[in-house]
Structure 1
């Protein structure tokens, strides 16, 4: 089966899908400051890459993978003081996700997978709130592999695991792999490392990037980013998404590929 994009389909195309075996994939990111070198939609770029890589794997398992348009406006309070950042409330995001899920359900699609690449704490709480509400309904299955939690995060790069990860080597590498023309390469190569752990700063009570130790809205080692690392990370993210869906569905629900037998 092939990977499809919902905006490219007609309503008749959607109706003709093998709906019982269809998974809708929603990329979720943010529009927020990512240093002086990466575009505001870096998280959206990463989420879309994860969704596509995961969708290809699910298609290889005989499932219908349908990519939804990315959700790119979410809570982003940590970057709110930087020009260009757009932030909404957590309740707004949770309500939007549950409404979106209701539409997916009405279309007859039984599974919604979320490919998330934004880690603002309010944003993550809203995602978990929405997923719990959706799953409590008992009709649509929502799958959300949160890479800030075990076991998923341990499979990502050392910088990601360190918590010093926002517009650094991890994120910069993925954007270089996906859209190198959108990276300010000369600026990126001149940036000093910022080894401050954003996740630790959040745990200690920091409320924005500046207070957390990121006055230029980046953490980590942006100058070390490479497209090669980005391609490898995208493949890992695709594995994470597809494996989470497979775990949720149960291995008996589709034919195994040759690699699995």
Structure 2
């Protein structure tokens, strides 16, 4: 089985004494506008796709048993608040959700949990980092976090991602085309001009809304250049990074 919530209770009990080390992936995203062409749940869809591909990657592994927890679809997302469909939760709410879910698992002896996030609003990312620190302080447990905006990870991703133009642009749209092409309005996508906005730089300059950043249609980058082929290649890179994080977590006592 792939999904933790599809197991029966005795099967979860057996995870704790089985020959394979259980590692639980927690996909995290947000519900927010992604241009006129991509779905609100883009970030969570990408996180879930990464997890599913990682499970397939480890399917024959004799040491690790990988399972996907029910996703956390909501995140800290203020920048697109003026666009229809944005659903924001506070930093404290997200922190509590992550910490309490992880605590419930840790208390059952399932302490290898790995956060898989693809929503990069700075306050959201920092909240996840804080949740990892909280688990260490409260329980002495290291929760994994594939933090894609860390330099060592970002350097392996596409030029658009590294340029900070990665909201509903070529990078994210390609990932959607590789996994859920039916959710992309391809006709609209092909008409969209490139929007050159470096989101981290804009945030550093005090911009706190998509409009203030110059993202009048809630996207930046070049979605018209997206392709499923690029998305598949990017997924290979993402899953390789995720696999490394899984193996590192599985080694921990």
- What TM-score bracket applies, with the shorter chain setting the length? over 0.9
Aligned to 1:56: 56
**In the TM superposition, what is the alpha-carbon distance from 1:150 to its structure 2 partner?**
2.1
- Between the aligned partners of 2:127 and 2:56, the Cα distance in structure 1 is 27
Q: Which residue of 1 aligns with 2:30?
A: 30
Distance, in Å, in 2 between the alignment partners of 1:219 and 1:121 is: 16
Q: CA deviation at 1:39?
A: 0.3
Within-5 A mapping of 1:17-166: 17-18=15-16, 21-61=21-61, 62-166=63-167
Distance 1:84 1:158 in 2: 29
Q: What is the match of residue 16 of structure 1?
A: 14
Q: Structure 1 residues 10 and 139, CA, compared in 2 at 3 Å: closer, same or farther? A: farther
1:98 CA drift (Å): 0.5
Q: Is the 8 A contact 1:24 1:112 kept in 2?
A: yes
Which SS does the other structure have where 1:66 is aligned? Answer: strand
What is the distance in 2 between the residues matched to 1:105 and 1:137?
11
Map 1:235-250 → 2, pairs under 5 A: 235-250=236-251
Aligned to 1:256: none
- TM-score normalised by length of structure 1: 0.91
Structure 2: tracts of 5 or more residues without a match: none
Q: Is the 8 A contact 1:110 1:139 kept in 2?
A: no
**Count of paired positions:** 250
Q: In 1, distance between residues paired with 2:204 and 2:41?
A: 25
**Residues 182-207 of structure 1 deviation map (CA, whole Å, 9 limit, x = unaligned):** 10000000000112211211111110
Query: How far did residue 249 of structure 1 move?
Result: 3.9
CA deviation after TM superposition for structure 1 residue 57, in Å: 3.4
Q: CA deviation at 1:135?
A: 2.2
Contact 2:193-2:222 at 8 Å conserved across structures: yes
Decide which moves more: 33-42 or 65-74.
65-74
Residues 49 and 178, structure 1, Cα contact 8 Å, conserved in 2: yes
Structure 1: gaps of 5 or more residues: 254-261
Contact conserved, 2:112 with 2:249, CA < 8 A, in 1? no
1:124-159 Cα deviation digits (max 9, x unpaired): 111000011112234543011211112111111111
